[in-house]
Amino acid sequence: MATSPHLLLAAPHRLPLLSGSLGLCAIALWWLVRLGGLLLGWPELPSGTLPASLLHAPALLLLVYPAFIFGFLLTVFPRWMGQPDLEAGRFGPVGIGLALGMALAAAGLWTGLGGLVTAGMAVFALSWGLALVVLARVLADHRRSGQPPCWHALSALAALVAGLAALLLALSFLTGGDPRPLRWSNVLALNWFVLPVFLTVAHRMVPFFAGNVVKDYRRWRPDWLIGALWALLVLRCGADLALLPPLSAIASLGLAGLTGLMVWRWWPRGPAPGLLSVLIWGFAWAPVGFLLAALSALDLPLGLAPTHALALGFAGSLLVGMVTRVTHGHSGRPLAMVPLAWLAFAGVQLAAAARIAAALRGEQGLLLVLAALLFAAGLLPWLVRNALIYCRPRRDGRPG
C-alpha cells in the first residue's frame, strides 16, 4: 500500500526518523563499500575531489544523528514543558527539508559528486535553522508562562545551536577547501552537539523510564549534573581546539567520573526490561570513552579509539534504545526490544569493539572493514523495519 504524504506529516517524528533510517542505511553501506574498495580491492565507487575519509565524520555526526535527534526533540520538546504537540505547519517544513538534504547528500556520497554533498548539507543547514526557530518559540512560550526553567530543553537547544555552527564549518570546508574548519567542525560536533544531546536526553529519560518499570527504583537526576557535564564538555572542547592535552585530560577524567557515577546510580538493583537495560548498557560506554580520551591526552597511543567509543559505542547504543522506544511508543506497539532491535544493539557493540581494536593496531585495514560490516549488518534490518513502521498508520488506530 502506498504511503500517503499526509501520513508522514501526521506526527513530528515520522519524516525525520524515516530520513534518519534511510540515510543511515545509505551511509553505512557507502562507508563499507568505500573501505572495501580502498583496503580489500572491492570494486570502487566513483571518487570525487575529496577523500571519503574526510566526509565520514560529518555525514554521521551532522546528517544522520541530527535527523534522529530532530525526530525525537520535535516530539518531546513541548511535552517536557507541558505544552500541546506541534502542528504540522510548524514541524512539516523542517521534516521535508531534512529529508531533501539527506537525500542529496547521500546521492553525492555514492556518486562522488561533491556538489551534491554540499547542496545536501546546505539544505540540511537551512532546515536545521528553521527547527531552531520552532523549538525556540516553544521555549519562549514556556518562559512567558512563568513556570520554572526546563533545563533539559535549554541544554538541548544550546547543543543544537552548536551543532548548526559545526555544520556551517563543515560547509565552509566543502566550499573553500581549507582543512581547519573541518577539524573545528568535528570537535564541535562531537563535544558540543552529539555528546550533550545524548547526555541530556539520557538524564531526562533513563531515571523516568526506570522508575516506571523497576520496582522500588529511586530516581536520581539532579539538575546540577547538566551544568557540570556542560562545564566539563566546554573545557574539553576548548582544550582540544587549542591543542592543550593536559586540560583535555582533566576534563575527560571529570566526565569519566561523572558519567560513571550516573551509571552506578541508574543501574537497577532488580529485574529490568530489555529496553531499559540497553539504555544503561549503552550509557556505560560514556565513562569508558572519556577515560580512554584522558589516557590518550596523556600520550598513550590510542589513536581514534576514544572518539569511536563515544561517537559509535555510546551514541550509537543510545540511538538504538531511544529510537526503539519512540518508534514503538508512537506506533501503538509495546515498549520492548524486538529481535531486530537486539540485533542492532549487538551490531553496535561489536562494531565499536572492532573499531577500537583497529585504532589500537594502527588502523588495521581488515578490522576497519569488519567494524563497518558489523555496523551495517546489525543496523540495516532494524532500520528497514522502522522505516516501514513510519510509513504505516498506528496499530492502535490513534492519530499521529
What is the set of domains in the chain, with CATH numbers? Answer: 5-390 (1.20.210.10)
pLDDT digits (tens, 9 = 90+) for 373-397: 999 999 999 999 999 999 999 998 8
**Quick check: 371 pLDDT over 70?**
yes
pLDDT tier at 296 (50, 70, 90 boundaries)? very high
Mean pLDDT of 1-27: 89
By the 8 A CB rule, do 120 and 105 touch? Answer: yes
pLDDT digits (tens, 9 = 90+) for 261-278: 999 999 998 899 999 999
pLDDT in the model for residue 399? 84
Q: Alpha-carbon distance 239 to 299, whole Å?
A: 15
Q: Is the dihedral of CA 342, 346, 349, 351 positive or negative?
A: negative
Least confident of 67-76, 212-221, 240-249: 212-221
Q: Alpha-carbon distance 133 to 127, whole Å?
A: 10
Mean pLDDT of 209-222: 93
Q: Alpha-carbon distance 167 to 146, whole Å?
A: 34
Mean pLDDT of 151-159: 97
Q: Alpha-carbon distance 71 to 311, whole Å?
A: 19
Q: How many residues does the chain have?
A: 400
Amino acid at position 223, single letter: D
Mean pLDDT of 54-76: 97
C-alpha cell at position 218 = 529511586
**Quick check: 12 pLDDT over 90?**
yes
pLDDT in the model for residue 3? 63
pLDDT in the model for residue 342? 98
Exposure string for 164-178, b = 16+ CB within 10 A, e = fewer? bbbbbbbbbbbeeee
Mean pLDDT of 359-378: 97
Tally of CB atoms within 10 A around 205: 21
The residue behind cell 536526553 is 201
The residue behind cell 534511510 is 22
Residues 6+ apart with CB under 8 A from 14: 7, 8, 71, 95, 390
Mean pLDDT of 222-230: 97
Q: What is the CA radius of gyration of the chain?
A: 20
Residue with the larger pLDDT of the pair 215 and 167: 167
Mean pLDDT of 122-143: 96
**Quick check: 85 pLDDT over 70?**
yes
Residue of 345, 349, 346, 354 whose CA lies nearest to 372: 354
pLDDT tier at 1 (50, 70, 90 boundaries)? very low
pLDDT tier at 307 (50, 70, 90 boundaries)? very high
Phi (first) and psi of residue 33, to 5 degrees: -65, -40
